């Protein structure tokens, strides 16, 4: 039982699930998408990315790349939200909400790829 | 070697996770804990402002409580955040600093930086293994002549000395073991512009390993090795090392030459000495019985060579067993008066202090001179940094192994024809040498002459080559005359012309040069520029031959023709 691998997989999959949780629901309805879940998804995604640092294998590089993509999309979603509501001080319209959720949808795909790669790496791992 | 960035990232994982977690928890807490606005109504902070607040909190800027003064609960949470955030930052920065200062990390950085520098070199360069006295001199001389080199030396401190040296050219240094083939490859052994590997590590076995590695991995690259014993020299020769330099043998043979043929000795000295050094006062050593202190490699070589000249030596050696000294050796170091007296110092004509300890050598000579003031003194100086004291001791002849090795290698690099020249002069006699010495002295006054080569090829001498392929004659004196006054010869002496594998010593000025000739010159440094100018410029050559200054442009030429 390798504790490091458990934690690694835990954070990767947690990032995926939180991301999916935020994404699911009507695209432009703000009541379906909780800001706390976006926050949690972003934080866990960042932690999952940091855990992927420093791996020199090819598949490790791919994992890091997908994680970085997910981070990028989630940060973009958060920044759009923050800008529209607090900088431009306009209400959260459906068009804006759909942009935010779309970006998180992109991050979802990246996280999904990351988890698939993780599974592939585990399956092909030979002791 | 591993990627430097990934090394850093791996060490930074925990600090970064800690930092992110601390910030996340603080932000979350601030958005959840209710505050009270100026009207007394409850109010909750949003994420945007929470992130803003925690940012200036964690970086210890601390603007203030926004937008309304905090409640007690908020303040308690903020206190917790302050300590958590600041400590996380300190931990992260501390880890970065530790990683940067880690010796293994710095070694990786230095190695990669060195490999990058070598890869960027486009011009021919030499790889020097070892940074002792000989290497230091060689690097200085090569850099002054703009010949690139890289240095590989196991001792980190010596590489640091190299970095501080005030050199004309930038010389990259690597502190790794040169006997490792990876190190040699990193130093550029396989690159097409590597001209040679010079092994001067000070340890015969290491030099041998470097030579073998070089010859196996890059057979076309020239290998020059220093060897301190006959066995390793033979070993190196067996797999094709291009040049093997034994400083003791070289010195001993030159020293022996001083007895019977001082002019020949001068010729050898001048050809290999560093340009611009003042011509040393030459004192001919007397024949008779000599006292030789120290029967190591130096002592053995000297005794062998001067015995051929008929000079008898009386040996003084402290460890007769290990050195295999003959039975009539006086046992002792030679630093005390009674040992010297036992060796009949009062009847001797000269004394040679040849131990491997500089202080002992000086002590031997001072004691010897005290007992017999008219002695010819010869000393072996092991370390270059003892120069001032050896100079102050007013010794007749000093032997520095480092200097001899460096000068010989420099000769091999700058003028490979010198090897042929020395081979041919070995068969000449003292009168011939006398003539040559007076010719050279007439040309260079008081400083050691510069030796250089010229090849009559399209690359090095296009003007001459051009005339030769048009079936026109070019005489040696056309090249060697002063462009400002063609009836006067330049201050240089053509020593050798190598044509089709055979060499012609001291060619006459009326000699016709042919294409493919390699000419060895010796003389004043300013002649090198003049000759190079003449052989490159068609107008100059035409003027030298005919005395007529032809117009340069094609139009004017057509007008005047």
Q: Give how far Cα A106 sits from Cα of A63, A98, B52, B82, Å.
A: 16, 12, 26, 35
Q: pLDDT at residue A111 above 90?
A: yes
**DSSP line for B159-195:** HHHHHHS--SS---EE-S-TTSHHHHHHTTTTSTTEE
Q: Please answer whether residues B482 and B489 qualify as being in contact, where contact means their C-beta atoms are separated by less than 8 angstroms.
A: yes
SS3 B455: strand
The first and second tokens of residue B142, run together, are 């090569």
Residues 67-126 (A) with a CB less than 8 A from some CB of B? 78, 82, 85-86
* Residue B27 sits at the chain A interface (C-beta within 8 Å): yes
- pTM of the model as a whole: 0.76
Q: Please answer whether residues A88 and A107 qualify as being in contact, where contact means their C-beta atoms are separated by less than 8 angstroms.
A: no
The first and second tokens of residue B121, run together, are 């070199």
- CATH, domain range B277-414: 3.40.50.720
Q: What pLDDT band is residue A16 in, cutting at 50, 70 and 90?
A: very high
Q: Which residue has the tokens 């690159």?
A: B191
Interatomic CA distance for residues B427 and B434, integer angstroms = 14
Strand B173-174 relative to strand B194-199, pairing: unpaired
pLDDT number for residue B1: 46
CB atoms within 10 A of CB B13: 16
Interatomic CA distance for residues B466 and B486, integer angstroms = 21
φ and ψ at residue B148, rounded to 5 degrees: -75, 150
Predicted confidence (pLDDT) per residue in B193-214, tens digit: 999 999 999 889 999 999 999 9
Mean pLDDT over the full length of chain B: 87
Interatomic CA distance for residues B434 and B418, integer angstroms = 19
Q: Please answer whether residues B417 and B496 qualify as being in contact, where contact means their C-beta atoms are separated by less than 8 angstroms.
A: yes
Same fold, B122-245 and B277-414: yes
Please say whether the structural domain B122-245 has been given the CATH code 3.40.50.1220. no
CATH class of B4-101: mainly alpha
φ and ψ at residue B174, rounded to 5 degrees: -130, 130
Q: Do residue B10 and residue A54 have CB atoms under 8 angstroms apart?
A: yes
> Residue B215: which residues within 8 A CB-CB, separation 6 or more?
B223, B239, B240, B241
Q: Please answer whether residues A77 and A105 qualify as being in contact, where contact means their C-beta atoms are separated by less than 8 angstroms.
A: no
**Burial of B127 (C-beta count, 10 Å sphere; 0-12/13-18/19+):** buried
Closest CA of chain A from B7, distance in Å? 6
Interatomic CA distance for residues B382 and B538, integer angstroms = 51
Nearest CB among B6, B17, B31 relative to A50 is that of B17
pLDDT number for residue B374: 86
Q: Give how far Cα B171 sits from Cα of B148, B158, B178, B355, B360, Å.
A: 7, 13, 16, 34, 36
Q: How many domains does chain A have?
A: 1
Predicted confidence (pLDDT) per residue in B498-553, tens digit: 888 888 888 888 888 888 889 998 888 888 888 888 888 888 888 888 877 777 67
- For A75, the domain range is 3-123
Burial code of B194-215, b = ≥16 C-beta within 10 A, e = fewer? bbbbbbbbbebebbbbbbbbbb
Interatomic CA distance for residues A117 and A9, integer angstroms = 11
Mean pLDDT, residues A74-79 taken together:
95
SS3 B222: strand
CB atoms within 10 A of CB B379: 24
Which candidate in B6, B8, B21 is best for mutational testing of the A interface (most A CBs within 10 A)?
Answer: B6
pLDDT number for residue B278: 63
Domain edges within chain B: 4-101, 122-245, 277-414, 449-560
Which chain A positions have a beta carbon within 8 Å of B10's beta carbon?
53-54
Q: Give how far Cα A103 sits from Cα of A21, A36, A70, A80, A99, Å.
A: 14, 16, 9, 10, 6
Q: Do residue B6 and residue A54 have CB atoms under 8 angstroms apart?
A: yes
* Residue B12 sits at the chain A interface (C-beta within 8 Å): yes
Interatomic CA distance for residues A107 and A77, integer angstroms = 9
SS3 B489: strand
CA nearest A37: which of B35, B52, B31, B88?
Answer: B31
Interatomic CA distance for residues A67 and A13, integer angstroms = 11
Interatomic CA distance for residues B550 and B198, integer angstroms = 48
Closest CA of chain A from B407, distance in Å? 48
* Residue B66 sits at the chain A interface (C-beta within 8 Å): no
Q: Which residue has the tokens 């090392």?
A: B241
Which chain A positions have a beta carbon within 8 Å of B48's beta carbon?
82, 85-86
Interatomic CA distance for residues B300 and B234, integer angstroms = 18
Which chain B positions have a beta carbon within 8 Å of A43's beta carbon?
20-21, 24
pLDDT number for residue B532: 87
Which chain B positions have a beta carbon within 8 Å of A54's beta carbon?
6-7, 9-11, 13
Cα angle: B475, vertex B479, B481; to 5 degrees: 105
Q: Do residue A53 and residue B9 have CB atoms under 8 angstroms apart?
A: yes
* Residue A55 sits at the chain B interface (C-beta within 8 Å): yes
Please list the rounded mean pLDDT of every run of 10 residues in chain B (561 residues): 73 92 94 90 90 91 88 93 94 92 87 92 93 92 90 92 88 91 92 93 91 92 90 89 89 86 81 67 80 87 87 85 80 83 85 89 89 88 88 86 89 84 82 86 80 87 88 86 84 88 86 88 86 86 81 75 66
Closest CA of chain B from A81, distance in Å? 9
Q: pLDDT at residue A54 above 80?
A: no
> Interface pTM (ipTM) of the complex?
0.84
Chains A–B, number of C-beta pairs less than 8 Å apart: 46
Which chain B positions have a beta carbon within 8 Å of A36's beta carbon?
28, 31
pLDDT number for residue B199: 94
Nearest CB among A36, A53, A82 relative to B10 is that of A53
Interatomic CA distance for residues B179 and B185, integer angstroms = 11
Cα B95–chain centre separation: 39
- Is pLDDT larger for residue A23 or for residue B505? A23
Which candidate in A36, A46, A54, A75 is best for mutational testing of the B interface (most B CBs within 10 A)?
Answer: A54
The first and second tokens of residue B552, run together, are 């340069």
CA nearest B413: which of B8, B141, B165?
Answer: B141
The first and second tokens of residue A117, run together, are 């790669």
CA nearest B522: which of B421, B424, B381, B431?
Answer: B421
Which chain B positions have a beta carbon within 8 Å of A47's beta carbon?
17, 20-21
Contacts 24+ apart (CB under 8 A), B342-348: B343/B291, B343/B314, B343/B315, B343/B316, B344/B289, B344/B291, B344/B314, B345/B291, B345/B371, B345/B372, B345/B375, B346/B371, B346/B372, B347/B289, B348/B288, B348/B289, B348/B290, B348/B291, B348/B314, B348/B372, B348/B375
- CATH, domain range B449-560: 3.30.70.1450
pLDDT number for residue B2: 58
Does residue B67 have a cis bond before it (omega within 30 degrees)?
Answer: yes
């Amino acid at each position: 039982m390798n504790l490091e691998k458990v934690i690694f997989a835990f954070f990767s999959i947690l990032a995926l699930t939180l991301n999916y949780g935020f994404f699911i629901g009507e695209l432009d309805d703000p009541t379906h998408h909780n800001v706390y879940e976006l926050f949690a998804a972003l934080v866990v995604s960042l932690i999952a990315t940091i855990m992927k640092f420093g791996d020199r294998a090819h598949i490790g590089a791919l994992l890091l790349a997908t994680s970085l993509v997910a981070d990028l999309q989630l940060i973009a979603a958060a920044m759009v939200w923050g800008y529209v509501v607090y900088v431009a001080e306009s209400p959260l319209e459906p068009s804006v909400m759909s942009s935010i959720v779309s970006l998180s949808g992109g991050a979802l795909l990246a996280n999904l790829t990351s988890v698939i790669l993780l599974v592939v790496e585990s399956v092909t791992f030979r002791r | 070697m591993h990627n430097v960035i990934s090394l850093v990232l791996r060490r930074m994982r925990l600090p970064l996770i800690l930092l992110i977690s601390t910030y996340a928890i603080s932000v979350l807490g601030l958005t959840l804990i209710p505050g009270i606005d100026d009207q007394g109504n409850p109010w909750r902070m949003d994420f945007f402002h929470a992130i803003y607040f925690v940012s200036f909190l964690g970086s210890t800027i601390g603007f203030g409580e926004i937008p309304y003064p905090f409640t007690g609960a908020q303040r308690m949470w903020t206190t917790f955040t302050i300590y958590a955030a600041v400590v996380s930052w300190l931990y992260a920065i501390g880890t970065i600093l530790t990683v940067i200062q880690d010796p293994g990390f710095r070694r990786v950085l230095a190695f990669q930086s060195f490999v990058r520098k070598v890869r960027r070199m486009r011009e021919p360069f030499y790889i020097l293994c070892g940074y002792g006295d000989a290497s230091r001199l060689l690097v200085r001389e090569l850099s002054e002549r703009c010949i690139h080199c890289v240095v590989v030396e196991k001792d980190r401190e010596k590489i640091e000395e190299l970095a501080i040296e005030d050199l004309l050219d930038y010389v990259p240094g690597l502190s790794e073991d040169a006997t490792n083939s990876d190190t040699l490859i990193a130093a550029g052994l396989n690159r097409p512009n590597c001209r040679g590997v010079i092994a001067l590590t000070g340890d015969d076995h290491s030099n041998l390993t470097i030579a073998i590695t070089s010859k196996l991995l890059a057979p076309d690259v020239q290998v020059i090795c220093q060897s301190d014993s006959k066995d390793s020299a033979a070993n190196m020769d067996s797999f094709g090392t291009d040049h093997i330099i034994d400083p003791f043998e070289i010195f001993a043979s030159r020293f022996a030459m001083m007895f019977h043929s001082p002019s020949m000795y001068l010729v050898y000295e001048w050809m290999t000495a560093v340009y611009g050094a003042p011509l040393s006062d030459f004192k001919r050593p007397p024949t008779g019985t000599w006292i030789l202190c120290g029967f190591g490699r130096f002592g053995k070589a000297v005794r062998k060579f001067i015995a051929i000249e008929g000079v008898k030596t009386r040996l003084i050696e402290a460890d007769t067993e290990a050195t295999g000294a003959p039975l009539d050796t006086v046992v002792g170091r030679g630093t005390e008066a009674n040992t010297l007296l036992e060796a009949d110092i009062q009847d001797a004509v000269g004394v040679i202090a040849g131990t491997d300890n500089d202080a002992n050598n000086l002590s031997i000579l001072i004691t010897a001179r005290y007992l017999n003031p008219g002695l010819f003194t010869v000393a072996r100086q092991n370390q270059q940094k003892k120069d001032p004291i050896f100079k102050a001791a007013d010794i007749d002849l000093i032997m520095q192994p480092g200097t001899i090795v460096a000068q010989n290698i420099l000769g091999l690099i700058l003028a490979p024809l010198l090897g042929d020249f020395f081979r041919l002069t070995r068969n000449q006699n003292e009168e011939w040498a006398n003539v040559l010495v007076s010719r050279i002295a007439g040309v260079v006054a008081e400083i050691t002459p510069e030796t250089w080569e010229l090849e009559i090829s399209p690359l090095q001498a296009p003007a001459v080559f051009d005339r030769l392929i048009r079936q026109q004659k070019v005489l040696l004196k056309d090249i060697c005359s002063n462009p400002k006054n063609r009836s006067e010869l330049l201050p240089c002496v053509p020593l050798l012309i190598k044509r089709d594998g055979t060499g012609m010593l001291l060619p006459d000025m009326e000699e016709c040069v042919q294409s493919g000739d390699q000419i060895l010159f010796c003389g004043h440094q300013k002649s090198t520029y003049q000759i190079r100018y003449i052989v490159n410029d068609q107008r100059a050559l035409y003027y030298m031959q005919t005395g007529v200054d032809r117009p340069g442009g094609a139009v004017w030429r057509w007008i005047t023709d």
